[in-house]
Amino acid sequence: MIELLCRKMPLSSLLRGLLERCFAAERLEALFEAHAREQYTRDLLFSTVCDLLLSVVLRVYPSTHAAYQDRQQELNVSVVALYDKLKGIEVAVSAALVRETARDLSALLDALDCPPEPGLPGYAVRILDGNCLEASEKRLGVHQGLAAAALPGKSRVVLDPERRLLVEVVPCEDGHAQERSLLEAVLPTVQAGEVWIADRNFCTLGFLRGLQERQAAVVVRRHGSLPFGEQTPFAPAVGGEEGQRLFEQRIEVEGRTYRCVRIELPAPTRDGDTHLDVLTDLPDTVDAATVARLYRKRWTLETAFQHLEQHFASELNTLAYPRAALFGFCLALVAYNVFSVMRAALDSAHSEPVSKGVSSYDIAHEISATFRALLLLGEALDWQFLATCPPVQFAHWLRDVARNVRLDSLKKHGRGPKKPPQKNPYDPKQPHVSTYKLLRDQ
């Protein structure tokens, strides 16, 4: 029966297999026991809560309450108990879930023999950016009588662009927390030999110092408030895209020497900036053009955030408690990583890479249309063998299933740039027209 489902619903089967791997009950309970400090397990298991809320994040159900109603007999707890469990899941547990599943999925990418996208030879690239959860519905007593938006939290997310995996997250329950205040929690995740790319909000003395202490390099836009001294004036640098000019100088920050690459922009930004100053401590063998190219990779994480918003219910505004909302967001990060491995499986199953020509929207649409049916049809089937088999064997299963995917139905259809809409004069004497007559008289 599993073989039949894999032939008829290959994308949903890939997802089902990867979720079985990432969300095995024993593993999740061990993770919860290792990282939870306040909560404990009584009647409702952490693995059960993960499974239920993940079905909402994947848009199998429209809301948490709808998922609960469908599985009420199986859960055998009240809806109040469910929400009490959700609102108490500690951010350390949510962060560990992302980190540990990303590590396992990275091992699967190795088993699939998918070479990472080229970044910078000799370095592991990491991109850092922040995300603020959208305002939640005002469902709590403390919200009553307030007109201001209720922010359930924010987070700092780290992307490995070479593997397209979100490898770390630093959740914060305070929606008003400054981005820079969370950098101390990011630094312990830094490893020697990495190069970190970030926007100017993360260009602080403490972060630059912490990276250098951990023998990691940086490519970051210079913040206007960063104190520095000029060692050399700007001089033209070789390279740059067509129509783009680059300049470079050396500066000193707290006794450390950095290169400052100035990128002149073809048009001012919405803030009126005509150039970007990018700091780096990469060696001179990495030229200014490569530094500019690396900084542009920062938008890879912005694109990932857009995919989270478009294809998953990543920000559940019905979860008003900060811990519950952040837990839902972290589940969406795991779902994004799972989709990245699914794309890698498609590449591995064919003689040449195909995932770049596949539409993420169509993948998400097909899964949302078939995944619940697969869960119902395969409810009595045993998928647990996928959770325990060696990575090489599981990678072989992924390839076999991926070969059943009809790529022609998922093909991207590119289009040219949108033309600006033409504003036609409005005639109040003729507020509407008959399309039939227009077609008849053309």
Query: Would you say residue 170 has pLDDT above 90?
Result: yes
In angstroms and rounded to an integer, the radius of gyration of the C-alpha atoms of the chain is 25
Contacts of residue 261, defined as CB under 8 A and 6 or more positions apart, other chains included, come to: 237, 246, 247, 248, 277, 278, 279, 280, 288, 291, 292
Pairing mode of beta strands 275-280, 256-264: antiparallel
Q: Of residues 353 and 188, which shows the higher confidence score?
A: 188
Percent of the chain clearing pLDDT 90 (strictly above): 51
Decide: helix, strand or coil at residue 88. Answer: helix
State yes or no: pLDDT of 211 exceeds 90.
yes
Contact 214, 191 (CB under 8 A): yes
* pLDDT (0 to 100) of residue 42: 76
- Is the pLDDT at 389 greater than 90? The verdict is no
Q: Check residue 102 and give its pLDDT.
A: 95
The mean per-residue pLDDT over the stretch 412-419 comes to 75
Whether residue 240 has pLDDT greater than 70 = no
pLDDT over threshold 70, residue 346 = yes
Q: Could you tell me which of 54, 10, 21 has the C-alpha nearest to residue 358?
A: 10
| pLDDT of 243 | 60
Tokens of residue 264, six digits: 């002149």
Structure tokens at 156: 């700092």
- pLDDT of residue 364 exceeding 90, the answer is no
pLDDT confidence bin for 439, thresholds 50/70/90: very high
Identify the CA nearest to 195 among candidates 225, 158, 164.
158
Identify whether the C-beta of residue 259 lies closer than 8 Å to the C-beta of residue 289.
no
The model's pLDDT over 102-122, given as tens digits with 9 standing for 90+, comes to 999 999 999 988 777 778 888
84: pLDDT strictly greater than 80: yes
User: Does 280 have pLDDT greater than 90?
Assistant: yes
pLDDT over 90 (residue 326): yes
Q: What percent of the chain has pLDDT over 70?
A: 98
Q: What are phi and psi of 120, to 5 degrees?
A: -140, 115
Return the SS3 of 185. helix
What's the mean per-residue pLDDT of the chain? 89
Amino acid at 85: K
Which pLDDT belongs to residue 179? 79
Residue-wise pLDDT tens digits, 248-270: 999 999 999 999 999 988 888 88
Q: Are strands 275-280 and 217-221 parallel, antiparallel or unpaired?
A: antiparallel
Is pLDDT at 352 greater than 90 in this prediction? no
The pLDDT of 156-170, averaged and rounded, is 94
pLDDT at 94 over 70: yes
Joined tokens for residue 253: 């920050």
More confident residue, 239 or 38: 38
DSSP run (H or E) holding 392: helix 391-402
Contact assessment for residue 58 and residue 11, using Cβ atoms and an 8 Å cutoff: no
Q: How many CB atoms lie within 10 A of CB 10?
A: 23
pLDDT of residue 221: 93
User: Distance between CA 163 and CA 332 in Å, rounded?
Assistant: 17
Q: In this structure, how many other beta carbons lie within 10 angstroms of the beta carbon of residue 396?
A: 15
Instruction: Mention every residue, 6+ apart, whose C-beta is less than 8 A from residue 395.
Output: 108, 111, 112, 113, 345, 348
- pLDDT score of 241 more than 70: no
* Averaged pLDDT, 17-45: 87
Check pLDDT > 80 for residue 306. Answer: yes
Question: Measuring CA to CA, how many Å separate 415 from each of 364, 418, 441?
Answer: 20, 8, 31
Residue 191, pLDDT above cutoff 90: yes
**pLDDT confidence bin for 398, thresholds 50/70/90:** very high
Q: Are strands 229-230 and 165-172 parallel, antiparallel or unpaired?
A: unpaired
Say whether pLDDT at 410 is over 90.
no
Least confident of 246-250, 279-283, 411-415: 411-415
Distance of alpha carbon 221 from alpha carbon 204, whole angstroms = 11
pLDDT the model gives residue 421: 80
